[in-house]
């Protein structure tokens, strides 16, 4: 179970997630695409959710900047809006799962935490060569936090 204490809709055991956590403003995670021709695609979609059960989030919404880079070394950044649904803190508490003898079997978050889409239209990225996209960086714009990444993909 890569979801930790998160309470995901459906069957979280069959949903592999990557935890991205940080403890300083400006921390980043980079994803290398080699040399990808994204020119025939309209957007990049990131399936992600804030892990509201993690104390690194300090019960706050998160901020993130997405930076796309091409093989020529050109980069362009897009700061996600403050109210991006996928990065919002979900009100709730971490609760114990007891067995019949009173032992704690595990923990869960009291509220469902849906994985949401961040849609990045390539129309925003006019300063890079989409024929030669090579990486995407997520730069965190808060002092600490934790998100769970499900997938990154392109859509036509």
- pTM equals 0.85
Quick one: three-class SS letters along the chain? Answer: CCCCCCECCCCHHHCCCEEEEECCCCCEEEEEEEEECCCCCCEEEEEEEECCCCHHHCCCCCCEEEEEEECCCCEEEEECCCCCHHHCCCCCCEEEEECCCCCEEEEEECCECCCEEEEEEHHHCCCCCHHHEEEEEEEECCCCEEEEEEEEEEEC
pLDDT higher than threshold 70 for residue 145: yes
Averaged pLDDT score across all residues of the chain: 89
pLDDT higher than threshold 50 for residue 1: no
- What pLDDT does residue 150 have? 92
Mean pLDDT to the nearest integer, 9-30: 83
């Amino acid at each position: 179970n890569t979801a930790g204490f998160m309470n995901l809709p459906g069957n979280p055991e069959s949903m592999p997630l990557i935890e991205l956590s940080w403890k300083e403003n400006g921390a980043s995670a980079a994803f290398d695409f080699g040399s990808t021709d994204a020119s025939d695609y309209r957007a990049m979609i990131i399936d992600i959710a804030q892990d509201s059960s993690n104390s690194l989030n300090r019960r706050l919404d998160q901020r993130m900047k997405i930076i796309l880079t091409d093989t020529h070394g050109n980069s362009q950044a897009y700061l996600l809006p403050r109210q991006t649904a996928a990065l919002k803190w979900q009100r709730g508490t971490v609760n114990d799962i007891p067995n019949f003898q009173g032992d704690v079997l595990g923990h869960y978050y009291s509220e469902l935490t849906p994985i949401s889409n961040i849609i990045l239209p390539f129309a925003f990225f006019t300063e890079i060569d989409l024929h030669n996209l090579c990486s995407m960086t997520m730069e965190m714009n808060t002092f600490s936090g934790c998100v769970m990444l499900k997938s990154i993909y392109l859509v036509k």
